[in-house]
Amino acid sequence: MDFIIENQSSFRLGVFAGVLAAMMALEAALPRRARTSARVRRWSTNMALVVVNTLAARLLGPLVAGTVAVFAAQREIGLFNMVDLPVLLAVLGGMVLLDMAIYWQHVAFHRLPVFWRFHKVHHADRDIDATTGVRFHPAEIVFSMLYKAVCVLVLGPSLLAVILFEVVLNASAMFNHANLKLPLRLDRLIRPVFVTPDMHRVHHSDIERETNSNYGFCLSIWDRVFGSYIAQPERGHDGMTIGLAEYQTEKPGQLLWSLALPLAGPQRDMPAGKEHAE
Of the pLDDT bands very low, low, confident and very high (cuts 50, 70, 90), residue 271 is very low
Q: What is the pLDDT of residues 57-116, one digit of tens each?
A: 888 766 789 899 999 999 999 999 999 999 999 999 999 999 999 999 999 999 999 999
pLDDT recorded at residue 62: 65
CA–CA separation, 106 and 156 (whole Å): 21
Residue 116 CB coordination number (10 Å): 18
pLDDT recorded at residue 277: 36
DSSP 78-108: SGGGTS---HHHHHHHHHHHHHHHHHHHHHH
Predicted confidence (pLDDT) at residue 260 exceeds the cutoff of 80: yes
Q: What is the pLDDT of residues 190-207, one digit of tens each?
A: 999 999 999 999 999 999
CA–CA separation, 128 and 173 (whole Å): 11
pLDDT recorded at residue 266: 53
DSSP 167-235: HHHHHHHHHHTS-B---HHHHHHHTTTB--HHHHHHHTBSSHHHHTS---SSBSHHHHHTT---SS-TT
**Rg for the chain, CA atoms, rounded:** 18
pLDDT recorded at residue 59: 80
DSSP 127: S
More confident residue, 4 or 97: 97
Predicted confidence (pLDDT) at residue 251 exceeds the cutoff of 90: yes
pLDDT recorded at residue 265: 54
pLDDT recorded at residue 56: 85
Please state the pTM of the whole predicted model: 0.91
Predicted confidence (pLDDT) at residue 274 exceeds the cutoff of 50: no
CA–CA separation, 176 and 179 (whole Å): 8
Q: What is the pLDDT of residues 121-166, one digit of tens each?
A: 999 999 999 999 999 999 999 999 999 999 999 999 999 999 999 9
Closest by CA to 187, choosing from 178, 202, 197, 177, is 197
Domain positions in the chain: 46-249
pLDDT recorded at residue 156: 97
